[in-house]
Structure 1
Amino acid sequence: MKSMSSNQSMTPTQLALRALAANRLALAGLVFLILMLLVCGIGPWFSPYLEEGTNLDYGARGPSAQHWMGTDVLGRDVATRLMHGGRISLAVGLVTSMVALVIGVGYGAVAGLLGGRVDAAMMRVVDVMYAFPLMIFVIILTMLLEKSEWLVGFSKAANFDARLLLLFLAIGAVEWLTMARMVRGQIQGLMRQDFLMCARANGARWPHIIQRHLLPNVLGPVIVYTSLTVPSVMILEATLSFLGLGVQPPFASWGSLILDGANSMETYPWLLIFPVIFFSLTLLALNFIGDGLRDVLDPRKS
């Protein structure tokens, strides 16, 4: 009885956080992700080696007390390059997911609220974009944006690498499609619910309906899908880098480091092993977090 009364006195957010903390895999994934963000974010500041600090005389050597994860063929410290590469891979995953979130939620919400011909026309646009294979669409978009003068000018003015900005735009331009469909479906389903029809019949204004009824019911699925979008975006970025269409030297991401390691796998296996370990563990952590959020925020659960 005491636990039931304490649960009843807690807000939905507090109950969700308690349920998430009880999920050991999700909690372990969250701890690992925070640790990885700290290591990649501030770790390079404490490294005695530069990301592009070459030493041709030293060359590629295995892990040692001086270089914990060895060096590559140019004598660069692998651990330092992994931390710098993690910055880019995590930034692409997080920033692009936020871009997809903003575009997808806005587009899906407008289609779901307006309905009728507007909804049909907007969803046909989504269907047409879905008809193209995702990878081919991103490659074409990347090649088109690469020739854009305004993009190059903006990147120079902002002192930002044009290739990274290109990745954010190209991947974000295709990852919002599923988000838009999901939000549109959620809103249309809610619009047919009795409680919302009663609110509209009683003269409730749209700002009140959106804030009081639509937003709280759509927020959970949006958070879950966003958390699951991050690892898929990171995989897409790694694939593009592996194909030579992603991050280019002198910058590096986990995907480009995996490509470099794969090219010299038989001779210098540590160049492939460590990037794969970092990348795989981070993807597992993100998926554990996403699964935990889905279990907590699933509207079908009581």
Structure 2
Amino acid sequence: MTAPIETTGSAPEAQPETVPDGVEKGRIEGRSLGQIAWSRFKKDRVAVAGGVVVVVLITLAVFSRPLQALFGLDPNAFHQDLIDPNTSLPTGSMGGMSADHPLGVEPKFGRDIATRILEGSWVSLVVAFGATLLSNTIGTVLGVVAGYYGGRVDTVISRLMDTFLAFPLLLFAIAISATLQGGAFGLEGLPLHISVLIFIIGFFNWPYLGRIVRGQTMALREREFVDASRGMGARGPYILFRELLPNLVGPIIVYSTLLIPTNILFEASLSFLGVGIQPPQASWGGMLKEAVNFYQVDPQFMIVPGLAIFVTVLAFNLLGDGLRDALDPRSR
């Protein structure tokens, strides 16, 4: 039988036998949703490994130019002394691998592959993150507005989503990129190419997140906390951005980590087709394009940038899967 609680004028204190074994006597602190999600995420070793790879890739991309300046690297430096003039292939074994060129050199020009991989990393990630930010901003705003207000607003936005989804995105991207290669909007060269890719990929991909946000908003708008806000006189914009959006952060983060690798692949595809990042600027898709003529005699030239894309996409996908399970255990 539980011992009675004595009252002596001070706050009641639980008797020793009422405290469960293994729990220290005193106040038990609760955990936030973020702390609970983090504890779940840490248990997924595969997702943690993917997250570590993503952090390393982002760090290398951010410090790409400083690292090149520090070690005196030039992604466009030709090393013709390392190229056989008869075959246009690197001299030596393993594609010209050496201490100075750990991943070898390109056929024909002799440019260092490792330096070009490092240089291409920031291009791919800038395009992928920029396009994801643009598409998420448009998709989130229109999706939450359509899901909350419903009616004609929902109908108009939903038909707009269907219209954008009907566009043949790849053909449309090729046409726009090819048209704007010379210069536009006061930009030219690499800034123009990156801006065009971010706009094309981000502006035409927003309906995918928009549909997800719309469905989640339709489920949330009937919850008690939304009714309580309405009862206190809160207007639509306040409910949208102060009540609904904080509850949509989880799905948006998860979808973003899964959308970034898709955008990386799309940018590489456009560069491979010759309408993305233009040479001599290094890009992973451009390196694959240049390797087409040499992959039978020098497969390393194609394998290295291919592995860079593969590892990056895989790491982001593993991270996204882990975040999805951590933020929504019911999805397991």
When normalised by structure 2's length, the TM-score is 0.81
Alignment of 1:279 with 2:312, yes or no, is no
SS of corresponding position for 1:161: helix
Is the CA contact (8 Å cut-off) linking 1:96 and 1:169 kept in structure 2?
Answer: yes
Structure 1 or 2: more helix by fraction: 1
Alignment of 1:44 with 2:44, yes or no, is no
Alignment of 1:231 with 2:231, yes or no, is no
Q: CA RMSD in A?
A: 2.6
| 1:15 corresponds to | 36
For structure 1, the residue ranges without an aligned partner over 5 or more in a row are none
1:54 is matched by which residue type in structure 2? F
| 1:65 corresponds to | 99
Q: Give how far 1:27 is off.
A: 0.9
SS of corresponding position for 1:222: helix
Distance 1:136 1:66, change over 3 A: same
Q: Give how far 1:141 is off.
A: 3.4
Deviations 1:85-104 (Å, cap 9, x if unpaired)?
A: 11111111112111111111
SS of corresponding position for 2:80: coil
Aligned ranges 1:216-295 → 2 under 5 Å: 216-295=246-325
Q: Give how far 1:237 is off.
A: 0.8
Question: Structure 2 CA distance, aligned partners of 1:100 and 1:118?
Answer: 20
Alignment of 1:193 with 2:219, yes or no, is no
Distance 1:217 1:121, change over 3 A: same
Alignment of 1:75 with 2:110, yes or no, is yes
Distance 1:143 1:8, change over 3 A: farther
Is the CA contact (8 Å cut-off) linking 1:7 and 1:15 kept in structure 2?
Answer: no
Number of residue equivalences:
297
Is the CA contact (8 Å cut-off) linking 2:42 and 2:48 kept in structure 1?
Answer: yes
Q: Give how far 1:221 is off.
A: 0.6
Question: Structure 1 CA distance, aligned partners of 2:148 and 2:195?
Answer: 32
| 1:163 corresponds to | 193
Question: Structure 1 CA distance, aligned partners of 2:195 and 2:304?
Answer: 27
| 1:121 corresponds to | 156
Q: Give how far 1:164 is off.
A: 1.4
Distance 1:55 1:243, change over 3 A: same
Deviations 1:54-103 (Å, cap 9, x if unpaired)?
A: 12332242212221111112011110001001111111111211111111
Question: Structure 2 CA distance, aligned partners of 1:142 and 1:243?
Answer: 11
For structure 2, the residue ranges without an aligned partner over 5 or more in a row are 1-19, 84-88
1:32 is matched by which residue type in structure 2? V
SS of corresponding position for 1:53: coil
Question: Structure 2 CA distance, aligned partners of 1:57 and 1:7?
Answer: 70
Is the CA contact (8 Å cut-off) linking 2:134 and 2:202 kept in structure 1?
Answer: yes
| 2:5 corresponds to | none
Is the CA contact (8 Å cut-off) linking 1:105 and 1:183 kept in structure 2?
Answer: yes
| 1:98 corresponds to | 133
| 2:14 corresponds to | none
1:53 is matched by which residue type in structure 2? A
Deviations 1:97-146 (Å, cap 9, x if unpaired)?
A: 11111111122122223321122112111111111222123223334554
Q: Give how far 1:7 is off.
A: 9.0
Q: Percent identity?
A: 36
Is the CA contact (8 Å cut-off) linking 2:324 and 2:331 kept in structure 1?
Answer: no
When normalised by structure 1's length, the TM-score is 0.88
Is the CA contact (8 Å cut-off) linking 1:261 and 1:272 kept in structure 2?
Answer: yes
Alignment of 1:54 with 2:75, yes or no, is no
Is the CA contact (8 Å cut-off) linking 2:75 and 2:282 kept in structure 1?
Answer: no
SS of corresponding position for 1:232: helix
Question: Structure 1 CA distance, aligned partners of 2:248 and 2:119?
Answer: 36
